[in-house]
């Protein structure tokens, strides 16, 4: 089964409203929706800062090749260690990269699905 994460632009109020709706459904005894991993950004600029083309390439490489160290990843990508390290730190902060038990980097997602709403 694919492991996906939805990336969306939502402000704090929209996120809170979604939580309240889910809580009310649970209180009413309505069936629980299938859990969906989500990552919210406050605006498009913040999303594009986090998911640069180089960082997406890094995620793809980790996904395709499996867990790696930062040094091995930098070598495979033919990039400077410090820049890869900084990208890894940013992707870890938002939850798109995780560390395995042996501290190697992993991108557990099969798909990152971006959704940008045009209307409020």
- Note whether 20 and 28 are within 8 A (CB): no
pLDDT of residue 116: 79
What count of other Cβ atoms lies within 10 Å of the Cβ of residue 16?
A: 11
Tell me if 13 is assigned to some domain. yes
- Note whether 85 and 76 are within 8 A (CB): no
Split into its structural domains, the chain has a count of 1
Tell me if 120 is assigned to some domain. no
Tell me if 36 is assigned to some domain. yes
pLDDT of residue 93: 92
DSSP per residue, 40-60: EESSHHHHHHHS-HHHHHHHH
Tell me if 67 is assigned to some domain. yes
Confidence of residue 1 (pLDDT cuts 50, 70, 90): low
Confidence of residue 96 (pLDDT cuts 50, 70, 90): very high
With a CB cutoff of 8 Å and minimum separation 6, the contacts of 111 are 2, 4, 5
Helix extents (H) in the chain:
12-27, 44-50, 53-65, 70-77, 81-94
Tell me if 96 is assigned to some domain. yes
Tell me if 21 is assigned to some domain. yes
pLDDT of residue 120: 62
pLDDT of residue 73: 94
Is 78 in a helix, a strand, or coil? coil
Tell me if 30 is assigned to some domain. yes
Burial, 110: exposed, middle or buried (Cβ in 10 Å; 0-12, 13-18, 19+)? exposed
Q: What range defines the domain where residue 40 resides? A: 4-115
CATH number, residue 13: 1.10.10.10
**pLDDT tens string 72-87:** 999 999 999 999 999 9
Tell me if 15 is assigned to some domain. yes
pLDDT of residue 106: 93
């Amino acid at each position: 089964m694919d492991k996906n994460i939805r990336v969306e632009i939502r402000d704090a109020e929209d996120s809170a409203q979604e939580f309240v709706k889910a809580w009310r459904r649970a209180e009413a005894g309505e069936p629980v929706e299938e859990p969906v991993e989500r990552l919210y950004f406050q605006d498009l600029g913040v999303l594009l800062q986090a998911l640069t083309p180089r960082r997406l390439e890094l995620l793809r490489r980790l996904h395709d090749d499996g867990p790696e160290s930062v040094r091995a990843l930098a070598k495979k990508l033919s990039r400077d260690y410090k820049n890869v390290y900084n990208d890894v730190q940013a992707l870890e902060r938002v939850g798109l990269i995780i560390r395995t038990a042996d501290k190697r980097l992993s991108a557990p997602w099969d798909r990152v699905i971006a959704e940008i709403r045009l209307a409020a």
